[in-house]
Amino acid sequence: MIAPRRALREVFPYQPGKSIASVQRELGLKSVVKLASNENPLGPSPQAMAAYRKAEKSCGLYPEGASPELRAALAHFHQVEPESIIVGNGSDEVIRLLCEAFLDPEDEVVVSQYGFIRFKQQAAMMGARVIEVPMTDWTHDLALMASAASPRTRLIFIANPNNPTGTYNTQEEVAAMLAAVPKTALVVVDEAYFQYAAAVPGYPKSLPELVRAHDNLVVMRTFSKAYGLAGLRVGYGVADPELIGWLDRIRMPFNVNLPAQRACLSALKDAAFVKRAVTVNDAQRAVVARALGEMGFGVGESATNFVFVRCPLPGRELFKAMLRQGVIVRPLEEYGLPNHIRVSIGTAVQNKTLFAALKRVLGNKVGA
Ligand SMILES: Cc1ncc(COP(=O)(O)O)c(C=O)c1O
305-345: per-residue pLDDT in tens? 999 999 999 999 999 999 999 999 999 999 999 999 999 99
Report pLDDT for 10: 81
Give dist(CA 109, CA 356) in Å, integer: 43
Q: What's the 224 CA to ligand 1 centre distance in angstroms?
A: 7
Report pLDDT for 156: 99
- CATH number for the domain including 69? 3.40.640.10
Give dist(CA 166, CA 174) in Å, integer: 17
Mutate which of 224, 264, 306 for ligand 1? The one with the most ligand atoms within 8 Å of its CB, which is 224
On whether residue 17 sits in a domain, the answer given is: yes
Mutate which of 222, 238, 305, 306 for ligand 1? The one with the most ligand atoms within 8 Å of its CB, which is 222
On whether residue 122 sits in a domain, the answer given is: yes
Residue 365 has pLDDT above 80, yes or no: no
DSSP 28: -
* pLDDT tens digits, 248-302: 999 999 999 999 999 999 999 999 999 999 999 999 999 999 999 999 999 999 9
- Please indicate, yes or no, whether residues 265 and 283 belong to a single structural domain of this protein: no
Mutate which of 95, 114, 116, 306 for ligand 1? The one with the most ligand atoms within 8 Å of its CB, which is 116
Q: What's the 95 CA to ligand 1 centre distance in angstroms?
A: 9
| 3-class DSSP state of 322 | helix
On whether residue 1 sits in a domain, the answer given is: no
Q: What's the 271 CA to ligand 1 centre distance in angstroms?
A: 21
Asked which of 254, 270, 286 is the last residue of a domain, the reply is 270
| Average pLDDT value over all residues in the chain | 96
Average pLDDT over residues 233-262: 98
* pLDDT tens digits, 130-151: 999 999 999 999 999 999 999 9
Q: What's the 232 CA to ligand 1 centre distance in angstroms?
A: 13
Contacts of 4 (CB under 8 A, 6+ apart): none
In terms of Cα–Cα distance, which of 169, 152, 162, 153 is closest to 210? 169
Pocket of ligand 1 (CB under 6 A): 38, 90-92, 116, 159, 163, 190, 192, 222, 224, 230, 235
- CATH number for the domain including 363? 3.90.1150.10
| Domain enclosing residue 37, as ranges | 6-44+272-367
- Please indicate, yes or no, whether residues 218 and 76 belong to a single structural domain of this protein: yes
| Domains identified in the chain, total number | 2
Segment among 13-17, 82-86, 233-237 with least mean pLDDT: 13-17
In terms of Cα–Cα distance, which of 34, 6, 10, 26 is closest to 345? 34
Q: What's the 365 CA to ligand 1 centre distance in angstroms?
A: 34
- Please indicate, yes or no, whether residues 175 and 250 belong to a single structural domain of this protein: yes
Average pLDDT over residues 115-126: 97
Average pLDDT over residues 18-29: 94
Residue 158 has pLDDT above 90, yes or no: yes
Residue 177 has pLDDT above 80, yes or no: yes
Report pLDDT for 17: 86
- Please indicate, yes or no, whether residues 120 and 220 belong to a single structural domain of this protein: yes
Asked which of 270, 286, 301 is the last residue of a domain, the reply is 270
Calculate helix-pair angle for 117-125, 91-102, nearest 10 degrees: 40
- Please indicate, yes or no, whether residues 76 and 187 belong to a single structural domain of this protein: yes
- Please indicate, yes or no, whether residues 244 and 154 belong to a single structural domain of this protein: yes
- Please indicate, yes or no, whether residues 172 and 226 belong to a single structural domain of this protein: yes
Report pLDDT for 16: 85
- Please indicate, yes or no, whether residues 207 and 147 belong to a single structural domain of this protein: yes
- Please indicate, yes or no, whether residues 264 and 319 belong to a single structural domain of this protein: no
On whether residue 167 sits in a domain, the answer given is: yes
Please return the burial class of 3, using the count of CB atoms within 10 Å of its CB with bins 0-12, 13-18 and 19+. exposed
pLDDT band at residue 68 using 50, 70 and 90 as cut-offs: very high
- Please indicate, yes or no, whether residues 34 and 83 belong to a single structural domain of this protein: no
pLDDT top residue among 329 and 9: 329
Residue 38 Cα: closest atom of ligand 1: 14
Residue 237 has pLDDT above 80, yes or no: yes
Q: What's the 192 CA to ligand 1 centre distance in angstroms?
A: 6
Report pLDDT for 349: 98
Report pLDDT for 336: 96
Residue 159 Cα: closest atom of ligand 1: 1
**C-beta atoms surrounding 10 within 10 Å:** 9
Asked which of 235, 250, 270 is the last residue of a domain, the reply is 270
Q: What's the 53 CA to ligand 1 centre distance in angstroms?
A: 25
Cis peptide leading into residue 105 (ω within 30°): no
Residue whose Cα lies nearest atom 3 of ligand 1: it is: 192
Q: What's the 142 CA to ligand 1 centre distance in angstroms?
A: 20
Mutate which of 92, 188, 220, 330 for ligand 1? The one with the most ligand atoms within 8 Å of its CB, which is 92
pLDDT band at residue 11 using 50, 70 and 90 as cut-offs: confident
Residue 367 has pLDDT above 60, yes or no: no
Report pLDDT for 25: 94
- Please indicate, yes or no, whether residues 98 and 141 belong to a single structural domain of this protein: yes
Report pLDDT for 366: 58
- Please indicate, yes or no, whether residues 228 and 276 belong to a single structural domain of this protein: no
Segment among 17-21, 58-62, 345-349 with least mean pLDDT: 17-21
pLDDT top residue among 54 and 9: 54
Average pLDDT over residues 196-217: 97
